[in-house]
Structure 1
Amino acid sequence: MRQAEIAQLLAGADDPGLFSAAEALTRENFAGKVYLRGVVEFSNHCRNNCRYCGLRAANQNVHRYRLGVPDILACAALARELSIGTIVVQSGDDFSYTADDIAQVIVGAKADSNVAVTLSLGDRTEAELAHWRSCGADRYLLKIETFDEALYAHCRPGLTVADRLTRLAALRRAGYEVGSGVITDLPGMTPDILAADLLKLADLDLDMIAVGPFVPHPDTPFGRERPGSILTAFRAMAILRLLAPLANIPSTSALNALRDGAREQGLTVGANVVMPSLTPETVSPDYAIYPGKNAFRAGARERVEAAREAVRRVGLTPSTAVGGSKRRHHG
């Protein structure tokens, strides 16, 4: 698929055909099963100042928190109890947690269980990444948001696309299943930029690809910008399914932040993963990378059951499997 064709599809040239093809390919490869990933958002401290993110260091209106290793492991134990095959250990770029702290989480989470552990910890060193892999971490999610250098620099001051790509390569060398993704309709993003981004994501041959719409946060420099289009996000998800048939693609919480029910609808246009939060409800509202991130004010058990119900509502089956990379298994 060429960039010009992708741009036309993003503009709505053939929504029925695009969505139908993406849904059929997803069912063919995943047999109507949807993987659940339980997310443990253990710290909302971040050293970065991304202009779109509510956790940015300069935001003084965030109630900051950190969970200790025992608290994180309690969330992992709950994931096992609820038959969730993967936990995602996620934070802002918070270097107060040492390599050994994270190693304890990995080893503890996998003790007496075949649960997969995905890390989403930002820009850690190559030595740390290799160490955590040796401790048993299975996957690492490092979103790039956009490959356009000028837009990236505008959205993520002081950071570069090249550094992000270098780190993705380090993750691949360490043996992780590797995930990345983009935000659709970032302020300054054009259809051509997004089309190029989708092609570049596919070219990276990733195990996991995440795409979600821009949701403005009022306490950021982008707070007054227009929210992203859910339809554009759906088109991007469907295109990515066609470009990367075996990738694990989540239907993100950002969709529901813009419209209730949009996350489950995403499962009909190419997604095969949902990621309910297991973060304790005492702090989960503070992990507000955008408004509505954890808007479902309930305990983790209720969030997981709500996610399973959403899957069933669109005629799919919530899976308890680890849900490893089909791309790897197929060579």
Structure 2
Amino acid sequence: MRPSEITQLLAGADDPGLFSAADALTRQNFGNEVFLRGVIEFSNHCEKNCRYCGLRRGNRRLSRYRLDVPDILACVGLARDLQLGTVVVQSGDDFAYTREDIGRIVTGAREIADVAVTLSLGDRPEADFAYWHALGANRYLLKVETFDEALYARCRPGLLLSDRLSRIEALKKAGYEVGSGLITDLPGMTPEILAKDLIRLSDLDLDMLAVGPFVPNPDTPYGDEASGSILTAFRAMAILRLLNPLANIPSTSALNALRDGAREQGLTVGANVVMPSLTPETVSGDYAIYPGKNAFRADAAARVAAVRRAIERVGLVPSTARGNSKRKHHG
């Protein structure tokens, strides 16, 4: 697809055709299965100061927390009990956790449960990536948010897009299944930028691709900006599916933050993954990237049960499989 075609689709040129084509391609490659990834958000400390994110270093209103390694591994045990095939171990850029601390989480998780271990820890050194992969980490998520250099620099002060992209290449080289993603309707983003972003993201040839709408957080510099459009996010998800038939694409929690039920609807326009939070309810509300993140304040078992019911509501089947990359065939 050319950028001009994508721009037209993002403007709503053919929603019925776009959504049905994306759904048909998803069903062709994944059947009716939806993979569940249990997310363990173990720290909301972050040394970065991104203008859109509630975890930003400059947010003084946020109650900060860190889970210790035994608490994190208890969440892995919960994932096992709830028959989730993957855990996603996620935090802000928090270097209070050493390379060895994360290593203990990886090895502990592999001992506790037969799960795929995904890490989402931000910008770590290349040697750390290799170390964790050797211990058994399977996947790594590193969002880009936008490939437009000026917009990236404005949203992520002091950071360079080129550094982020070189880390993605390092992760691929280390042998991970690698995921990245975009935020639609970031302040300053145009349809033309988003169209190019979708192409650039697809050109990276990754295993996991995410796109979610911008949700303003009042405790950030972008707090007064308009929320992103759910429809634009759906169109972007569907286009990503058409460009990446075998990629694992989540329907993000940001969708539900804007409208209850939008996340399950995303499973009908190209997504095949949902990521319920396993973060202990004592702290889950403080993982406040945006308002409404983890708004469903129930214990993890109730959260996962609600997600399974939502998947079934749209006629799909919640899977207990790991959902390994169809592009790669390793565990």
Q: For this structure pair, what is the TM-score category when the shorter chain's length is used for normalisation?
A: over 0.9
Tell me the TM-score normalized by structure 1.
0.99
Match of 1:40 in 2: 40
Q: Indicate yes or no: 2:131 matched with 1:111.
A: no
Question: Which of structure 1's runs of 4+ aligned residues deviate more than 4 A?
Answer: none
1:32-61 deviation line (CA, Å, top 9, x unaligned): 100000000000000000000000000000
Structure 2 residue 87 is matched with structure 1 residue 90: no
**Residue identity opposite 2:216 in structure 1:** P
Work out whether residues 37 and 276 of structure 2, in 8 Å CA contact, stay in contact via their aligned partners in 1: yes
Matches within 5 A, 1:250-289: 250-289=250-289
Matched, 1:219 2:219: yes
Q: String of CA shifts for 1:8-37, please: whole Å, max 9, x gaps.
A: 000000000000000000001001100000
Q: Which amino acid aligns with 1:113?
A: A
SS in structure 1 of the partner of residue 327 of structure 2: helix
Identity of aligned residues (%): 75
The amino acid of 1:233's aligned partner reads A
Matched AA of 1:108: G
* Residue matched to 2:80: 80
Distance of 1:259 and 1:170 partners within structure 2? 36
Give the match for residue 62 of structure 1.
62
Q: Residue type matched to 1:30 in 2?
A: F
Correspondence list, 1:1-331, <5 A: 1-111=1-111, 113-329=113-329
In the alignment of these two chains, the number of paired residues is 330
Deviations 1:214-270 (A, max 9, x none): 000001000000000000000000000000000000000000000000000000000
Secondary structure of residue in 2 paired with 1:327: coil
Task: Determine the C-alpha separation between the residues in 2 that align with 1:18 and 1:160.
Answer: 34
CA distance in 2, matches of 1:262, 1:130: 37
Letter in 1 for 2:79: A
- Kept in 1, the 8 Å contact 2:76–2:112? The answer is no
CA displacement 1:146-195 (0-9 Å, x = unmatched): 00000000000000110000000000000000000000000000000000
Question: TM-score, length-normalised on structure 2?
Answer: 0.99
- Which structure 2 segments of 5+ residues have no match? none
Measured in 1, the distance between the counterparts of 2:54 and 2:294 equals 13
Letter in 2 for 1:178: V
Separation (CA, whole Å) in 2 of partners of 1:167 and 1:113? 28
State the one-letter code of the partner of 2:297: R
Aligned equivalents of 2:283, 2:113: Cα separation in 1: 26
> Which residue type is aligned with residue 11 of structure 2?
A
The question of whether the paired residues in 1 share the 8 Å contact of 2:76 and 2:113 is answered with no
- Distance in 1 (CA, whole Å) between partners of 2:325 and 2:143 is 17
Tell me how far apart the structure 2 counterparts of residues 203 and 153 of structure 1 sit (CA, whole Å).
21
Query: Is residue 280–residue 299 contact of structure 2 (8 Å, CA) maintained in 1?
Result: yes
CA distance in 1, matches of 2:245, 2:93: 31
CA distance in 2, matches of 1:72, 1:114: 16
Root mean square deviation, CA, Å: 0.8
AA aligned opposite 2:229: S
Partners in 2 of 1:95 and 1:227 — Cα distance? 31
Distance in 2 of aligned mates of 1:319 and 1:238? 21
Structure 1, unaligned runs of 5 or more: none
